[in-house]
Amino acid sequence: MIKPDLIEEWIGSLLARKCRPLEYDIAVEGRVRRHVGPTMLIAAVGVVFRRSEKFRVENELVLNLESESEAFLRAAIFGMLDVLMVSDLVSIDTLEIVLKTVELDPIESSQWAFREAGRDAGRKMIKKLR
C-alpha cells in the first residue's frame, strides 16, 4: 500500500513543475481500432486543447448520450490525462479540453477503448507541441 505522504509528495511535485502554458489551440483526433485477444477496441474522440484560467473540460458534442456513453467520455478524458500529466511540455492547470466529436461502435466500444483513444489524443497533442 502506498503511504498517503508519498501521494501528497507526488501531487506537490506535479504541481511544482514549471511547464509552459499552451500558446495556441491544438485540435487532434484520438483513435483506437485494434484486436485485444477476442475483443475489438473501437473508439474515436476529437478534441481541441486550449489555454484557460484553470483546468476544465467542455462538452460541445451535439449528442444525447446514455449514461454508459458518458462513462466513455470520462474514460477518454482520463486517457488524455494519463499522457499529459507525465509530460513536461504543457501545464495542465491552465488547460481546457473541448470535446468536439465522438465515434463509437454500439458493440465494440467500451471504456477501455475510449481510454486508449484519449491516450492517443494526448500523444498527438504532445507530438504537435514538439
Range of the domain at 122: 20-129
Q: Please check whether residue 36 lies inside any domain of the structure.
A: yes
What's the pLDDT at 111?
93
Q: What is the pLDDT of residues 1-40, one digit of tens each?
A: 556 677 788 777 766 667 777 889 999 999 999 998 888 9
Q: Please check whether residue 54 lies inside any domain of the structure.
A: yes
Looking at the 3D structure of the chain, how many domains does it have?
1
Cell digits for 88? 513536461
Residue 60 reports pLDDT greater than 60: yes
Cell digits for 89? 511540455
Residue 126 reports pLDDT greater than 70: yes
- On average, the pLDDT of the chain sits at 87
- As a whole number of angstroms, the distance between CA 61 and CA 45 comes to 10
Q: Please check whether residue 11 lies inside any domain of the structure.
A: no
Q: Please check whether residue 93 lies inside any domain of the structure.
A: yes
The whole-model pTM stands at: 0.83
Would the CA dihedral through 87, 60, 69, 32 be positive or negative? negative
**Phi (first) and psi of residue 62, to 5 degrees:** -105, 60
Q: Please check whether residue 97 lies inside any domain of the structure.
A: yes
What's the pLDDT at 2?
57
